[in-house]
Amino acid sequence: MKKVMNCIACPLGCLITVEYDGSEVLSVTGNTCKRGDAYARTEITNPVRSIHSTVKVNGGEHPVVPCKTSGPIPKGAIFDVMKEINKVTVDAPVSIGQVFIKDVCGTGVDIVATNNDCGK
């Protein structure tokens, strides 16, 4: 089988053609870098995405502080992960990289802060 997809690894958005048989990838063409090749392969076998959101912060400069998944998570887990993120409240100060949730939903990926908040 053949699938044509736009790569989302970077803003270039290469048009990639993947030939595959079931979950076995036979060829990847049209990509301009290694990341494109990797994207196309996982997109066929196990599509993953990174998620970015916010969590509530007590005593912060702002009511919320941004966060992200420390790595990609399975596409199917997106809304479960969002539910967990929305349960979290942290206290200021917060610094970039601080872990809010360890191993969210058993994905092996953490939810980490993506901004500093020195507090009021």
Partner 1 sequence: MLQYDLVVVGGGPAGMAAALKAKECGVSKIVILERAETLGGILEQCIHTGFGLHYFGEELSGPEYAARFIELVKQTDIDVKVNTMVLSVSDDKVVTAVNTADGLLKIQAKAVVLAMGCRERPRGALQIAGTRASGIMTAGTAQKYVNIDGYMPGKKVVILGSGDIGLIMARRMTLEGAEVKVVCELMPFSGGLTRNIVQCLDDFGIPLRLSTTVIETHGKERLEGVTIAQVDDHLQPIPGTEEYIECDTLMLSVGLIPENELTKQAGIGLDRITNGAVVNEMRETDHKGIFACGNVLQVHDLVDYVTLESQIAGEGAARYILGQDSDEKVYINTKPENGVRYIVPQKVNIKSKEDVKLYFRVGAIYKNKKLTVEADGNVISSKKKVKLAPGEMENVVIPADVLASLNENSTITVRVED
User: Applying CB under 8 A, which residues contact partner 1?
Assistant: 5-11, 13, 15, 49-54, 56, 61-64, 66, 68, 75, 78-79, 82, 96, 114-116
**Contact between 66 and 94 (Cβ < 8 Å):** no
Pick 19 or 112: Cβ nearer partner 1: 112
C-alpha pair distances (Å), 114 with each of 43, 45, 63, 104: 26, 29, 15, 16
**Least gap, CB of 17 to partner 1 (angstroms):** 13
Pick 51 or 109: Cβ nearer partner 1: 51
Pick 21 or 42: Cβ nearer partner 1: 42
Pick 54 or 107: Cβ nearer partner 1: 54
**Least gap, CB of 78 to partner 1 (angstroms):** 7
**Contact between 40 and 65 (Cβ < 8 Å):** no
**Least gap, CB of 60 to partner 1 (angstroms):** 10
Bond prior to 93 in cis (omega within 30° of 0): yes
**Least gap, CB of 95 to partner 1 (angstroms):** 9
The Cα–Cα gap between 80 and 108 comes to 14
Element (H, E) at 54: strand 52-58
